[in-house]
Amino acid sequence: MRNVSLFIVIVLFISCGGNKEPKTMDFEAFKERFILDFWKQNPGWASYVGFHDYDSLLYAPTQERRDAEVSFCKSYLDSLNQFDFDKLTRAQQTDLLMIKNQLESSIWYTETYRSFEWNPSNYNVGGAFGIMINGKYAPLEERLTAMSSKMEKMDAYYEAAKQNIKQPTKEHTELAIMQNKGALDVFGPSLIDSVHASKLGQTEKENLLTNIELAKMAIQDYIDFLENEITPTLEEQSRDFRIGKEMFEQKFKNDIVSSYSADEIYQKAVETKKKIHGKMFELTEKMWGTYFNKQLIPSDTLVAIKMMIDVLSLEHCHRDSFMATIEQQIPELTAFVKEKDLLYLDPEKPLVIRKEPAYMAGVAGASISAPGPYDKFGDTYYNVGTLENYTESEAESYLREYNKYILQILNIHEAIPGHYAQLVYSNESPSLVKSVFGNGAMIEGWAVYTERMMLEEGYGNNSPEMWLMYYKWNLRTTCNTILDYSVHCNGMTEDQAMDLLVDQAFQQEAEAKGKWRRATLTQVQLCSYFTGFYEIMQLRNELKEKKGEAFDLKSFHEEFLSFGSAPVKYVREMMLEGSEPQLAKSE
């Protein structure tokens, strides 16, 4: 409940904050109503972002339900048309466009993409219940009561799921079986213990325990259905996990919201890979004597580059000082950004570095965890994975991957001035629409862009070692796009994928296998990194050309980030418009 009132306060604050135009006032009220309605339509998503009013809801995925969703979207699209776009502020215009995308995209997912028929892993309640069990947003009794009524709806939910499935893919069926088995654990002994430990009355407790049993039966029944009825049919008539060119283009348009088509981005990625290989070989040649003395450089350029990468990867920190190394680098990055005047970093919002919490364990590396849009005052953490459980050789292999050079690039990407800095800016334009429907390609694109920008500005002293490792890292982003597009649109096989990732992008076998699996289960998401990066670089070039001498890197960064996590395409439209001489801000 606290969350709701907080939300209303924020919205009122924005709508009173200087907008005297009645139309813009209306738009703020409209957004508020829309978001609340949207959560009621999507209770699972709502719990996930920290809005818990609809936790007890679980809709059975029937045809009637889908019809209702589509008419919800159509009616809100009609309402959007009533606003005079030109009368809205730039921030509101982007909000409007993002809501429109979301609604059109939902309709497309239901009517055209239709994964409710072919992706059995769409049906899984584990995540939603996991949030309710672990979340500390409400007293245990309140959460258990909501869970109990959600459980009562599970039987109808999984029955409808079974009705929906028609000729699914083998890959998504296997995933669904695995994930639903995992969901069974959520209803295990620790949940039963917390029922006993709660202050609920005896009858309520008994009801809950019965509902837990029924919930487990519903999940088990779905697993049995997938294992016994669906799996045997898959050899003969499973659907190809490749969605094909036409569907891929459409999904790209809906998910990425780019100025380019998927095909155009794929072509750019192929060109970029070629250029990167050229640059990498140049750098390798330059350093060869230093690292290999008189040994002849192999004529196969990819082999030569690989040898150089391997030798540079030996420079890494000790397993016990992994976290200390990161802790030491963050202030160095901050100092560099300040010294070069690249971006204002709010000193009031320092990044808290912590050891990865136990529930995240296993995902080694480093990641940002940010508070959700309904938890404005929560801390942002930089989670650093521990190498404690690694054997000597596992640790060595991991440390070679995150060697002296790559670790710095990772910190740029995740923290400063990458994801973390973007997030601070994004929170300063407090639009719930932008944080809920934040554009993945913009968010990832920014982090990837900052890697390049920092090196261009001289981070790493322009050493060939740093640049070579940067290109290796950038090649990963580029090849994610090539892989995704080639697999879904050009029928790329697993062997061809391994050749791309291992031989041409210098990845470890295990990493490449994981990437292949991800490409079979998802579509388009792997393109987001390169697409966002490419579009930001293009926009920067356009503005440089337009402004000439007046172009200022810091202002570019700050203005770009001021739009929140909106698609680069919209930010571009606004920034190119805003760069007209008569509108230019003097700073």
Q: How far is the CB of 399 from Zn ion (least distance, A)?
A: 6
CA 75 to chain centre: 29
Applying CB under 5 A, the span of 82-90, 442-450, 459-467, 518-526 interacting with Zn ion comes to 442-450
Contact 432, 35 (CB under 8 A): yes
Given the complex with Zn ion, which of 308 and 447 has the nearer CB atom?
Answer: 447
**Distance of closest approach, residue 530 Cβ to Zn ion, in angstroms:** 12
Shorter beta-carbon distance to Zn ion: residue 175 or 366:
366
Nearer CB in complex with Zn ion: 447/566 = 447
Q: Which stretch binds Zn ion (CB under 5 A): 52-60, 171-179, 437-445, 578-586?
A: 437-445
Give the shortest CB-460-to-Zn ion separation in angstroms: 20
Task: Find the helix or strand (DSSP H, E) in which 16 lies.
Answer: helix 2-16
Closer by beta carbon to Zn ion, 175 or else 447: 447
Which of 470, 517, 516 is CA-nearest to residue 497?
516
Least spacing, CB of residue 88 vs Zn ion, in Å: 31
Q: Give residue 50's Cα distance to chain centre.
A: 17
Which of 101-109, 423-431, 440-448, 483-491 is the region at the interface with Zn ion (rule: CB under 5 A)? 440-448
Residues numbered 460-479 forming contacts with Zn ion, rule: CB under 5 A? none
For residues 532 and 443, the answer to whether their CB atoms sit within 8 Å is yes
- Closest distance between Zn ion and the C-beta of residue 287, in Å? 19
Nearest to 119 by CA among 193, 170, 44: 170
**Which residue, 28 or 444, is less far from Zn ion as judged by CB?**
444
CB of 44 to Zn ion, least distance (A): 24
Query: Toward Zn ion, which CB reaches closer, 57 or 412?
Result: 412
Compute the least distance from the CB of residue 416 to Zn ion, in Å. 13
| Contact status: 526 vs Zn ion (CB under 5 A) | no
Please tell me the distance from the alpha carbon of residue 176 to that of residue 189, in angstroms, as a whole number: 23
Interface size with Zn ion, residues (CB under 5 A): 2
Cα(225)–Cα(236) distance, rounded to whole angstroms? 17
113 and 251 in contact (C-beta within 8 Å)?
A: yes
Q: In 3-state terms, what secondary structure has residue 61? A: coil
Q: Which stretch binds Zn ion (CB under 5 A): 229-237, 347-355, 436-444, 566-574?
A: 436-444
Distance (Å, rounded) from C-alpha 145 to C-alpha 199?
11
Output 230 or 343, the one with its CB closest to Zn ion: 343
Is the peptide bond preceding residue 464 cis, with omega within 30 degrees of 0?
A: no
Contact with Zn ion (CB under 5 A): which of 91, 96, 447, 500?
447
Residue ranges in 25-44 that form contacts with Zn ion under rule CB under 5 A? none
**For residue 11, how far is the Cα from the chain centroid?**
26
Find the shortest distance in angstroms from Cβ 421 to Zn ion: 12
Q: Nearest distance from residue 529's CB to Zn ion, in Å?
A: 7
Of the candidate spans 83-91, 362-370, 446-454, 508-516, the one that interacts with Zn ion by CB under 5 A turns out to be: 446-454
Token pair recorded at residue 128: 């939603």
Task: Judge residue 180's burial from the number of C-beta atoms within 10 Å of its C-beta, 0-12 exposed, 13-18 middle, 19 or more buried.
Answer: buried
Angle at 325 between CA 322 and CA 329, to 5 degrees: 140
Q: With contact defined as beta carbons under 8 Å apart, do 57 and 48 qualify? A: no
Q: Indicate the residue whose CB is closest to Zn ion.
A: 447
Helices (H), 343-457: 392-401, 404-414, 419-428, 432-436, 440-456
- For Zn ion, the closer of residues 400 and 554 by Cβ is 400
Pairing state between β 381-384 and 366-369: antiparallel
| Helix 419-428 with 404-414: angle, nearest 10 deg | 10
- Report the alpha-carbon distance of residue 76 to residue 72 in Å, rounded: 6
Shorter beta-carbon distance to Zn ion: residue 9 or 360: 360
Taking CB under 5 A as the binding criterion, the range among 64-72, 100-108, 119-127, 444-452 that sits at the site for Zn ion is: 444-452
Q: How far apart are the first and last CA of the chain?
A: 43
Q: Which stretch binds Zn ion (CB under 5 A): 120-128, 271-279, 439-447, 468-476?
A: 439-447
We find the least distance from the C-beta atom of residue 373 to Zn ion, in angstroms, to be 19
**CB-nearer residue toward Zn ion: 445 or 564:** 445
Decide: 149 and 208 in contact? Cβ < 8 Å: no
Region near Zn ion per CB under 5 A, out of 323-331, 441-449, 453-461, 499-507:
441-449
Compare residues 223 and 505 and give the one whose CB is closer to Zn ion. Answer: 505
Q: Which is nearer to Zn ion, 444 or 535 (CB)?
A: 444
> What number of residues does the chain have?
587
Binding site for Zn ion (CB under 5 A): 444, 447
